[in-house]
Amino acid sequence: MPDERILVAEDEAEVLDMCVRALSREGYHVSGARSGVEAIEMVKSMSFDLLLTDIKMPGLSGLQAYREIKRQAPDIIGVAITGYGSVETAIEALKLGMEDFILKPFSLDDLRAAVAKALDRARLERENTRLKALIPLFEISKALVAVTDLDALLSQILRVAVRDTQSDLAVLMLRNRGSGELEVRAVNAPSIEGQGPQAYELDRDLSSRAIEGDQAVLWPAPEGGTFFARGRSRETPSAGVVVPLIVRTERTGVMGVGKSQPEESFSQGDVEFLSVLASQAAAAIENARLFTRLRHAYEKLAALDDLKSEFINVVAHELRTPLAEISTYLALSDQEAGAGPPFLTGIERAASRLNELMDNITDLKFLQAGQIELHATRLSLVGVLSDAIQQLRPLAVLKGQTITTSVQVGLNEIVADGPKLQVVLKNLMSNAISFSPEKGDIRVEAWSAGKALRIAVHDTGVGIPQEEWEWIFKPFYQVESSLRREHGGLGIGLALSKNLVELHGGRIWVESEVGRGSTFTVVIPDCVV
């Protein structure tokens, strides 16, 4: 059932009464006016979808009344009533923008048909306008989401608002999260340089009506008031719209758009466009704020990470001197006394391990700075594996662990940086020894896949949760603090190994099952001879 509102302007009482009763029976909300002046006054206090007006009325004509009503309510449509001798006047009415005209005398069927056709056409035009508006809004939405700088985003929103509604100025106010007050954050106006942004602060009552009502507010409004806060701006628009910015249930601000020319006004299409734009803008503003907070948090974390790295580098540097002295005294002790007590061997092994740790820290620092180069030569894969195992076997023996190797038959020489590859192997095997239980098994396998070399280190240790597989290759990352305290380590070895493997153009990854052990696999391309 139709629910449109119709205003009938007719000076003949019988014709007016007939039109009102006939259209009311069709389900329309119908009001009547006996003159053009009365019709204009009624439009000021009520909204109508269609004006049915006699062209010739005493005083103000129907055409003059329609012209003034159209200025107040741009979206109202008109149907003219005229006599047979006034066809030229009816044509003039069509030129003014009226949808149709009815010639007197007319039947009720003629009346109903003309009104229904005009309203159907208006609905179709509104839908077309809405669909056309969706296309630029879709493009605008994509553009707004891509902007993460808040000031640039606000400026872009206002440019779109002014451009697509053919307005002269736009203001965007956001709520201060501390005070809760609305503050001017962006202005698009021709004379802003002479007044400054605060001169365009929107009237508090106007902004409140938009925010509290969750809908657009047109100005001038029946409630009166000003568009800008009193005493602020030197200019006042002839027509304005204020729309709220709402994200979910949070009212984040308002946007005001104004037109300066006396005859200009905002159509319903303009209001709908600005309302949708405000909704998209509110979401984009929230995204920009979130991006800013995340960037600041990331910068703080990066600064802390740099501070941690620098601290460890300083500690490593400071430890080198006393470690060098310990190593020197151990060497002198061996020369003077020959084979010393067994505990001296343990001290020497621990000092050597600390030196390797210091080297790892330094190498990682230079690798991340791009200051280490690859020096690849032909070398024996078995020799590299044997050297690494030989250095780490004493640690495995202390825990009763066994280390076994399996190298593919015929896989002899490779082209790689021997010392760097040995660092990778030692770090992987050292981790396997540390995190495997006593009497555990560590297995090292090597095979070729075409020209690529594959090395896998298997252990029977505690395993690594899948959600941490990627993180364990980050510098100083601790799998679990309790495990690190039990097994030691700074979280440097795997990060260094990853960097060294990537320096060879290769990859490294882990596969693990908690409680069953882990397998670290290294792939280095184009190195098998």
Q: What is the 3-state secondary structure (H, E, C) of 463-517?
A: CCCHHHCCHHHCCCCCCCHHHHHHHCCCCCHHHHHHHHHHHCCCEEEEEEECCCE
- pLDDT confidence band for 336 (50 / 70 / 90): low
Residue 230 confidence (pLDDT): 73
Residue 482 confidence (pLDDT): 47
Percent of residues, the chain, with pLDDT higher than 70: 80
CA distance 185 to 200: 10
Q: Which helix (H) or strand (E) holds 328?
A: helix 268-337
Q: Residue 116 has which token pair? A: 């229904």
Residue 143 pLDDT exceeds 70: no
Mean pLDDT of the chain: 84
Residue 136 pLDDT exceeds 50: yes
Residue bearing the bigger pLDDT, 55 or 521: 521
Residue 243 confidence (pLDDT): 95
Residue bearing the bigger pLDDT, 216 or 372: 216
Residue 28 confidence (pLDDT): 94
Residue 238 pLDDT exceeds 60: yes
Which parts of 281-410 are beta strand (E)? 377-380, 402-407
Q: Residue 171 has which token pair? A: 């203001």
Query: CB of 137 within 8 A of CB of 118?
Result: no
Residue-wise pLDDT tens digits, 118-133: 999 888 877 776 676 6
Determine the average pLDDT of the residues in 235-262: 89
Residue bearing the bigger pLDDT, 82 or 11: 11
- pLDDT confidence band for 298 (50 / 70 / 90): confident
Q: Is 462 helix (H, G, I), strand (E, B) or coil?
A: coil
Residue 485 confidence (pLDDT): 45
DSSP β-bridge partners for residue 241: 218, 257
Determine the average pLDDT of the residues in 333-354: 64
Respond yes or no on whether the N-terminal peptide bond of residue 105 is cis (omega within 30° of 0): yes
Number of neighbouring beta carbons within 10 Å of residue 270: 25
Residue 74 confidence (pLDDT): 80
Identity of the amino acid at 483 = L
Residue 414 pLDDT exceeds 90: yes
Residue 36 pLDDT exceeds 80: yes
- pLDDT confidence band for 180 (50 / 70 / 90): confident
Residue 9 confidence (pLDDT): 96
CA distance 135 to 55: 39
Residue 236 confidence (pLDDT): 81
CA distance 277 to 287: 15
CA distance 98 to 76: 9
| Of 502, 434, 509, 429, the residue nearest 468 (C-alpha) | 509
Residue 194 pLDDT exceeds 70: no
Residue 192 pLDDT exceeds 70: no
Residue 21 confidence (pLDDT): 95
Residue 237 pLDDT exceeds 70: yes
- pLDDT confidence band for 309 (50 / 70 / 90): low
Residue-wise pLDDT tens digits, 211-235: 988 889 998 876 677 888 876 655 7
CA distance 249 to 283: 12
Query: CB of 51 within 8 A of CB of 78?
Result: yes
CA distance 461 to 439: 11
Strands 182-188 and 169-175: antiparallel
Return the exposure string of 410-435: e unless at least 16 CB atoms fall within 10 Å of the residue's CB, then b.
ebeebbbbbebbbbbbbbbbbbbbbb
Residue-wise pLDDT tens digits, 65-102: 998 998 888 888 999 988 755 667 777 777 777 888 88
Residue-wise pLDDT tens digits, 422-450: 999 999 999 999 999 999 999 999 999 99
Strands 169-175 and 250-259: antiparallel
Residue-wise pLDDT tens digits, 460-494: 999 999 999 988 998 777 665 445 445 455 578 89
Q: Residue 272 has which token pair? A: 């709908």
Residue 479 confidence (pLDDT): 65
